Amino acid sequence: MEYFDLISISTSGMAIMNPTTPEKVVSAGEAAGLSADDRVVEFGCGYGTILALWGKRFGIAGRGLDIREDACRRAVALLEKEGLSPRIGIDLADVRDETPDRLYDCAACIGSSHIWGGFAGALEAMSAWLEPDGRIVIGERYWARDSVPPEFAREWRDVLTEYEIFQTARDAGFDVAAIFRASPDDWDAYESGNWQGLLAWLRDHPGDADADEVREYLYRIQDEYAAYGREYMGFAVYVLVPS
């Protein structure tokens, strides 16, 4: 089974595919100064929830891009349901192959900087889509402790300390204007949502040829979270503004 198929299964019951909340997403939009005059592009937009929240709260327009066809279908359906589809479009695309169709007032990427190999690569790529005064809203993992067990650190080579996140943002020409950190409850809800999606699939597909692989993935992410993730890994949504 392909990796993206596992992601679609595990996140099937989620609205936001990261350890954050609608309230924090809206607060990040407020800190970024979003308004009805703004156009926003979101990379790795998932199920369109963040664009929908900002469309309803601030009246933004723009587009979302995602590599998963099922995610794009669900995002289009959500935006149509919320009456936002005339203003916000969804494109099925590998964003690494995309070039800017125009310049945007804000670029967002929540939990998907791995598309470009990590935080620094994401800032460089997203900046090419921005107006000179454009802002970035980016959700990123970070090391919550100074000392991380080597066996876990090796699995997450692109994760930075929060000090490094701030310095990398400055090197890219941005200041950190706001931070909205995931709480332990946010993490538990996110991880539990993944487990529930996988367990639901296993219940609905008894005897499926991929069942062993899905169950192995379930146990792997559970063990990783119990052994390391909850103690050593943080997540936050950062609002970046031009320096």
Tell me if 175 is assigned to some domain. Answer: yes
Report d(CA 115, CA 64) in Å as an integer.
15
188: its two tokens? 């538990």
Q: Which of 129, 86, 133 is nearest to 109 (CA)?
A: 129
The pLDDT mean for the chain works out to 97
Report d(CA 59, CA 220) in Å as an integer.
41
CB 42 within 8 A of CB 65: yes
Task: Using the predicted structure, report yes or no on whether residue 146 has a pLDDT greater than 90.
Answer: no
180 confidence band (pLDDT: 50, 70, 90): very high
Report d(CA 200, CA 218) in Å as an integer.
11
How is 23-84 classified by DSSP, letter by letter? HHHHHHHHHTT--TT-EEEEES-TTSHHHHHHHHHH--EEEEEES-HHHHHHHHHHHHHTT-
- Cα→Cα distances 183→42, 68, 75, 163, 236, Å: 24, 28, 26, 19, 9
Tell me if 183 is assigned to some domain. Answer: yes
The percent of residues above 70 in pLDDT, for the chain, comes to: 100
**Residues 6+ positions from 213 with CB-CB distance below 8 Å:** 1, 6
Task: Using the predicted structure, report yes or no on whether residue 113 has a pLDDT greater than 90.
Answer: yes
180: its two tokens? 């909205």
- Cα→Cα distances 32→13, 23, 54, 106, Å: 28, 14, 11, 8
**Per-residue pLDDT at 220:** 97
When pLDDT is averaged across residues 79-101 and rounded to a whole number, the result is 95
Tell me if 117 is assigned to some domain. Answer: yes
Residue 27: give the domain boundaries. Answer: 3-187+225-242
When pLDDT is averaged across residues 105-124 and rounded to a whole number, the result is 97
- The number of folded domains in the chain is 1
The 10s digit of each residue's pLDDT in 59-71 is 999 999 999 999 9
**Per-residue pLDDT at 1:** 87
What CATH number is given to the structural domain containing 105? Answer: 3.40.50.150
Tell me if 204 is assigned to some domain. Answer: no
Contacts within 8 Å (CB) and 24+ apart, 92-96: 92/65, 92/66, 92/67, 93/65, 93/66, 93/67, 94/67, 95/43, 95/44, 95/65, 95/67, 95/125, 96/125
Give burial (CB, 10 Å; 0-12/13-18/19+) of 89. Answer: middle
Tell me if 121 is assigned to some domain. Answer: yes
Task: Using the predicted structure, report yes or no on whether residue 177 has a pLDDT greater than 90.
Answer: yes
Tell me if 195 is assigned to some domain. Answer: no
Tell me if 203 is assigned to some domain. Answer: no
> With a threshold of 0.75, does the pTM exceed it?
yes
Tell me if 13 is assigned to some domain. Answer: yes
**Per-residue pLDDT at 15:** 97
**Per-residue pLDDT at 232:** 97
41 confidence band (pLDDT: 50, 70, 90): very high
Give burial (CB, 10 Å; 0-12/13-18/19+) of 150. Answer: exposed
Report d(CA 243, CA 174) in Å as an integer.
5
Q: How many helices (H) and strands (E) does the chain have?
A: 10, 8
The percent of residues above 90 in pLDDT, for the chain, comes to: 98
Task: Using the predicted structure, report yes or no on whether residue 185 has a pLDDT greater than 90.
Answer: yes
